[in-house]
């Protein structure tokens, strides 16, 4: 489990344990910096995993991506090349690489099918990250073609859930709104200002659903093309803000700052390939939000990083 301490990795780890896997290993970034090639190869030589889930990445919301493209490109390329090359050296039997829905063209036809990949220009606010993830997909496809390894790639939509990053600047929109509305409620503030126009649409999948989907595709999917993982439904950022305000219990004004970037107008995934494999999400957005907010209050609450 590469990325075992992150939002995705920790959820996949929990699901693997729930499914009875007892021999799951996965060093956190403090123990093993996946950007260090020698250290990664030494780890693989020592642990010799039968299967790898590559969920480790430098991730972040629109502002983090737009302001730090060098790290989003360089760190993610190094993590991927090191882990995938080391997995190849040991002919790891099964590997799942996790990308992101931002790999698709900014104006791809909606809902976005996997075939849309590389058919148009990317969203500039996260093109560096997208190129790194597309390189990962190509690396997996090359390993399949050159060595016949049953490695696969999955492209999750926007994810959220317990263990997310709630940083006010670097986080994704859902956790950022949870934190902003919670702090406003706690301080008695009568207004909050969110970024952009609020008109873009986003799809949100709870990370526990993603974890179940990861095990499902590891069990049932084996093809060159990536497989989208999502809910098949989306909402505007304004509608999301209304839902967050309701769940958090914030009753003040909600304003929008159009000087901040909106990002891609919409990125709803076509999940028919995944549906055909017999998988469906279970956690609705309101339920998932309530669970995420409860976790936030219990674990981070006031003064969270
Ligand atoms: O999750 P997010 O930051 O990234 O969502 P993307 C950005 C959308 O939410 C934009 C609006 O339309 C923002 O204007 N927004 C409003 C906010 N208030 C806030 C706020 O307080 N924080 C944030 N972050 N957004 C990401 C990619 O794109 O999608 C990543 O940057 C990754 O690389 C992820 O692919 C899945 O959904 O636009």
Both tokens of 61, joined, read: 């919301």
**Residue 303: its pLDDT value, please?**
52
Q: Which of these, 283, 105, 103, 152, lies nearest to 207 by C-alpha position? A: 283
User: Is 29 annotated to bind ligand?
Assistant: no
> Complex ipTM, two decimals?
0.98
Distance CA 51, CA 93 (A): 6
7 and 61 Cβ atoms separated by less than 8 Å: no
User: Is 91 annotated to bind ligand?
Assistant: no
Q: Among this protein's residues, is 250 annotated catalytic?
A: no
Distance CA 156, CA 154 (A): 6
Instruction: Give the pocket of ligand 1 (CB within 6 Å).
Output: 61-63, 65, 100-102, 126, 129, 158, 171-173, 176, 194-196, 200, 202, 237, 260-263
Catalogue the E-assigned strands of the chain: 51-54, 94-98, 151-156, 158-160, 191-195, 201-202, 204-206, 227-229, 235-236, 253-257
**Residue 256: its pLDDT value, please?**
98
Q: Which of these, 219, 208, 202, 226, lies nearest to 278 by C-alpha position? A: 219
- Radius of gyration of the chain, Cα coordinates, nearest whole angstrom: 19
**Residue 305: its pLDDT value, please?**
46
Which ligand 1 atom lies nearest to the CA of residue 125?
A: 31
Q: Which residues contact 191 (CB under 8 A, 6 or more apart)?
A: 184, 252, 253, 254, 255
Distance CA 176, CA 141 (A): 35
Full-model pTM = 0.96
Which ligand 1 atom lies nearest to the CA of residue 156?
A: 36
**Residue 301: its pLDDT value, please?**
74
Both tokens of 256, joined, read: 């929008």
End-to-end CA distance of the chain: 25
Both tokens of 218, joined, read: 């590891």
Query: Going residue by residue through the chain (305 aa), what tens digit of pLDDT does each one get?
Result: 999 999 999 999 999 999 999 999 999 988 999 999 999 999 999 999 999 999 999 999 999 999 999 999 999 999 999 999 999 999 999 999 999 999 999 999 999 999 999 999 999 999 999 999 999 999 999 999 999 999 999 999 999 999 999 999 999 999 999 999 999 999 999 999 999 999 999 999 999 999 999 999 999 999 999 999 999 999 999 999 999 999 999 999 999 999 999 999 999 999 999 999 999 999 999 999 999 999 999 998 765 44
């Amino acid at each position: 489990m590469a990325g075992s301490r992150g939002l995705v990795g920790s959820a996949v780890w929990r699901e693997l344990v729930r499914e009875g896997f007892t021999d799951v290993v996965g060093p956190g970034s403090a123990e093993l910096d996946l950007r260090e090639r020698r250290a990664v190869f030494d780890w693989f030589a020592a642990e010799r995993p039968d299967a790898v889930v590559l969920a480790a990445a430098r991730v972040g919301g629109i502002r983090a991506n737009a302001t730090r493209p060098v790290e989003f490109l360089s760190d993610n390329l190094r993590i991927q090349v090191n882990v995938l090359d080391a997995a190849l050296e040991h002919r790891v039997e099964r590997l799942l690489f996790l990308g992101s829905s931002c790999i698709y063209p900014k104006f791809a036809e909606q809902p976005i099918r996997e075939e849309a990949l590389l058919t148009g220009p990317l969203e500039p606010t996260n093109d560096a990250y997208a190129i790194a993830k597309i390189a990962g997909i190509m690396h997996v496809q090359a390993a399949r073609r050159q060595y016949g390894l049953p490695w696969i790639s999955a492209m999750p939509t926007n994810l959220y859930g317990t263990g997310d990053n709630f940083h006010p600047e670097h986080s994704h929109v859902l956790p950022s709104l949870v934190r902003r509305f919670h702090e406003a409620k706690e301080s008695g503030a009568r207004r909050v200002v969110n970024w952009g126009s609020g008109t873009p649409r986003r799809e949100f999948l709870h990370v526990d659903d993603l974890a179940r989907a990861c095990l499902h595709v590891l069990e049932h999917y084996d093809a060159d093309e990536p497989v989208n993982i999502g809910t098949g439904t989306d909402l505007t950022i304004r509608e999301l803000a209304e839902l967050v305000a309701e769940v958090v219990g914030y009753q003040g004004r909600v304003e929008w700052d159009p000087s901040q970037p909106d990002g891609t107008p919409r990125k709803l995934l076509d999940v028919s390939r995944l549906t055909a494999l017999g998988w469906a999400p279970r956690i609705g957005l309101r339920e998932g939000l309530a669970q995420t907010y409860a976790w936030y209050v219990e674990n981070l609450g006031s003064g969270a990083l």
